[in-house]
A and B are shown apart, each in its own frame.
Chain A
Amino acid sequence: MFLINCPFCGERDQSEFSSGGEAHIVRPKQPTELSDDEWAEYLFMRKNIKGIQFERWNHAHGCRKWFNVVRDTSNDKILSVYKMGEKPPVNYK
């Protein structure tokens, strides 16, 4: 268990949130021009890093807003939280 700092509500328990998987995956502009493999790559393939990962989270049992989180999956430390549409912080890779 860990705490997440919702950009709208402040610090709340993880149990109020639901994880939305990897962040910053962009839908291809012309899906019809992609091969099946390329489409599958976009649709299904996700990173599963031990270390720093960019994720989407939803404050499901609070304000119900989506936002982004930079989390170290090896120790659940949250390094940064930023709103949807904002650029990811540059100091993590």
Chain B
Amino acid sequence: MLDILHPKISNINKNNIDINLSEEKIKINIRGKNKEFFTKVGKILSIILPSETNTSSSNENYDVLWLSPDEWMIYFDENKNTNIFDQLYKDISTLNVGSITDISSQLICINIKGENIFELLSSGSPFNFEKFKNNVGSSTQTLVNHIDVILHHKSKNNVNLFVRRSFSEHLYEWLVDSSNFI
């Protein structure tokens, strides 16, 4: 039986591709449009939300990914500042300036690194990785093996892939299987 809460994902290395489960991450989805929203988020996170399509911004604490013109995803390690969600929620959601949702349980982060990762992803995705692979910091939402994913090019040849928990084991198996053919 598929255990969606604890998908069987183990660390694996094949053909210069490392696949690791990166479970200890907090992910927060934030949405908003007005000036007050941008000011408040900027103040709380000390980071400017990326306004350019398919980019991200980072500081020593957080990574923020552009998802759509009024939607972003923040993610960071569990052991970092843990009350950031409460702070954002209190100053933004409760005042109707925007909307803040903790999606840590919804998504799983799988880290993929190595020289051949873009060939691996391309083999099951309609996305054109040409620009993405040359630009550290790029982010995108697309399909991999028909499954919705959020990709973040964290550092050279190192990508954090976010996928819905219930799809993660299946996608992981596809990644492991497909890395045999790269």
Q: Which A residues fall within an 8 A CB radius of B?
A: 8-13, 15-16, 61-65
Contacts and interface: CB of A to CB of B under 8 A. Distances in A.
Contacts of B128: 11
Interface in B26-46: none
B68 A65 contact: yes
A11 B128 CA distance: 9
Contacts of A16: 126-127, 142-143
Contacts of B140: 9, 62
A62 B142 contact: yes
23 contacts: A8-B53, A8-B69, A9-B54, A10-B53, A11-B128, A12-B126, A12-B142, A13-B126, A13-B127, A15-B126, A15-B143, A16-B126, A16-B127, A61-B141, A61-B142, A61-B143, A61-B148, A62-B140, A63-B67, A63-B68, A63-B69, A65-B68, A65-B69
Contacts of A65: 68-69
Interface of B: 53-54, 67-69, 71, 126-128, 140-143, 148
- Interface residue SS majority, chain B: strand
A78 B127 CA distance: 19
Given A8-B53, A8-B69, A63 B141 contact: yes
A10 B69 CA distance: 13
Contacts of B53: 8-10
Nearest to A11: B128
